[in-house]
Structure 1
């Protein structure tokens, strides 16, 4: 991407963001909106500057839990999708299980998991994030694997290609975009689930815990500052996944 293209891509959303922040501040100032309803960007920025160290620490804890949940949930989703596409028995058995997981309010499991692993453990938050990740990664990977046309595999076999080459040149390139679509969806879900799970108890260490504490103490601007920290974590996860997807698809396209 050239510098001109990069500027053309990033400038419009940047200007829009600046305009929205300016309108937000003007609305709060002119309308005399109480802080408990909506604090202004200036107050939030001031709180973020004052509490940048605890916000950074809390964001790292939430990010670590979300990352572990993302990795574990994604690996399990990909592996079980591969097994399902190669075994019709597993495929049929997994259908009702996945359907049930898709409608279960995952974050509502946090209090139960805290009682299982202890109120001082981060395991409950990791499990919640992993479960939230598992379903979209599994479904998208399974869809991608099913897009491989039998005629392509038959052609490779007719050319005496070994199984590893069929997987390398047919299955993986076809399924890769679907896998990364699931990962992009899951990256945001992992962060959101980890933060929401922190609302329900556990150690006072993550972004969600400090949001509830600040809001309970009527420190609404501070609560929004922690919300901003959570947004930054989510953006880092999403942009990293997007960068990995771009790299993987370009590499696959050069083959």
Structure 2
């Protein structure tokens, strides 16, 4: 029990204390230097706007969160599946590598309007596909790296037992790659939210945090715009923490 206490203080209490100190310093600087709201609103003003428009912020978080979750699932499934196939077939790996590398540098600014034209400005499909693309790349590369971590002695043992490639992948390769897969998912969980939010800036249905930020800023309601930014931060942290919790549960179960 004593050994667990310092860990709890370091992981929970220290970040809270640091965050409160930053907020107080921020408030003091904005007030003392009379910084205009269009440059940087005070955190207390942002908090007041967040509390006063909680339903609207929550509605935007729901729309962006749903698109991010759909994109996360699609991108993760495709990334893991293609990485497994690429690890089994060297030719496919060599063919897919430049394509995935090209996908990693596709700008959302250019992609989102094209997808809105393809699927319609009234559909959420474009935002979900943008999030899926952002998720796919890190999940694919991390999974593929993990699949290549199997030691030669383990591969030789599988050959000695005359198992098939899929049986060896399921029994040895996938468990070894699991930490790498979850590293990719943790990275991708935040990218899904960011990508879906950015895609909302370039059209699509009214709704979501990105549209709300744009609307509030265009009407010079900077406190409200930052309240929506706070909602996006909370949403991103929620996705990251959910991915971390799933990783802990799966790792504990597989280790047991």
Of 16, 38, 41, 1:39 maps to 41
Cα offset, 1:171, TM superposition:
1.2
CA contact (8 A) 1:28 1:38 kept: yes
Stretch deviating more after TM superposition (24-33 or 149-158):
149-158
Distance 2:223 2:115 in 1: 31
Distance 2:135 2:10 in 1: 33
CA contact (8 A) 2:88 2:165 kept: no
Partner of 2:73: 71
Of 197, 213, 222, 2:224 maps to 222
Distance 1:115 1:160 in 2: 52
Distance 2:163 2:97 in 1: 33
Distance 1:162 1:100 in 2: 33
Partner of 2:138: 136
Distance 2:254 2:5 in 1: 25
Partner of 1:247: 249
Instruction: Say if 2:31 is the partner of 1:29.
Output: yes
- Supply the RMSD in Å over aligned alpha carbons: 1.7
Partner of 1:185: 187
Partner of 2:7: 5
Cα offset, 1:16, TM superposition:
0.2
Distance 2:89 2:166 in 1: 19
Consecutive unaligned residues in structure 1, runs of 5 or more: none
Partner of 2:154: 152
Stretch deviating more after TM superposition (155-164 or 180-189):
155-164
Q: Secondary structure at the match of 1:37?
A: coil
Stretch deviating more after TM superposition (233-242 or 142-151):
142-151
Q: Secondary structure at the match of 1:103?
A: coil
Cα offset, 1:40, TM superposition:
0.3
Cα offset, 1:149, TM superposition:
2.1
Cα displacement string for residues 51-89 of structure 1 (whole angstroms, at most 9, x for unaligned residues): 100100110100000000000000000011111111122
Matches of residues 231-246 of structure 1 in structure 2 within 5 Å?
231-246=233-248
CA contact (8 A) 1:107 1:128 kept: no
TM-score (norm 2): 0.94
Partner of 1:173: 175
Cα 1:187–1:107 shift into 2, 3 Å: farther
Total equivalences in the alignment: 254
Instruction: Say if 2:116 is the partner of 1:114.
Output: yes
Partner of 1:97: 99
CA contact (8 A) 1:144 1:178 kept: yes
CA contact (8 A) 2:30 2:42 kept: yes
Cα offset, 1:177, TM superposition:
0.4
Instruction: Say if 2:127 is the partner of 1:125.
Output: yes
